[in-house]
């Protein structure tokens, strides 16, 4: 099952991707443009990760973050709802 196998693909020890990850976080920790976090809210793989982004990225402050359901593949299961949330965000920013 993918949910059992895929976590083993996430780097947990320093490797060649660590420098790229640090560079990406350094960028996002200074990102002040509006930044929206949207997730399923009922996905045991990614639940809570939005809090990491909201704590590190200045542009997340005051944004209408959403949890829309739909599980790990919410972008497919809740495509219409996700589209509504994203269009509203773009229109308001």
What are the Cα distances from residue 79, in Å, to 47, 69, 76, 84, 93? Answer: 19, 11, 5, 9, 21
Sign of CA dihedral 90, 79, 42, 52: negative
User: Is residue 84, in this structure, part of any structural domain at all?
Assistant: yes
pLDDT at 21: 84
pLDDT at 17: 75
User: Is residue 5, in this structure, part of any structural domain at all?
Assistant: no
User: Is residue 88, in this structure, part of any structural domain at all?
Assistant: yes
pLDDT at 1: 40
How many domains is the chain built from? 1
pLDDT in tens, the chain (93 residues): 445 555 666 666 666 777 888 899 999 999 999 999 999 999 988 889 999 999 999 999 999 999 999 999 999 999 999 999 999 999 999
CA distance 60 to 56: 9
User: Is residue 58, in this structure, part of any structural domain at all?
Assistant: yes
User: Is residue 55, in this structure, part of any structural domain at all?
Assistant: yes
Range of the domain at 83: 33-93
User: Is residue 54, in this structure, part of any structural domain at all?
Assistant: yes
What is the residue whose two structure tokens read 């959403």?
66
What is the residue whose two structure tokens read 């809740």?
78
């Amino acid at each position: 099952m993918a949910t059992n196998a895929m976590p083993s693909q996430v780097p947990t020890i320093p490797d060649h991707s660590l420098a790229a990850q640090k560079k990406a976080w350094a960028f996002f920790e200074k990102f002040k443009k509006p930044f929206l976090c949207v997730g399923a809210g009922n996905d045991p793989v990614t639940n809570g990760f939005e809090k990491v982004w909201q704590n590190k990225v200045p542009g997340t402050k005051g944004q209408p973050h959403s949890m829309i359901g739909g599980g790990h593949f919410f972008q497919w299961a809740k495509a219409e709802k996700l589209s509504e949330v994203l269009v509203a965000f773009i229109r308001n920013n």
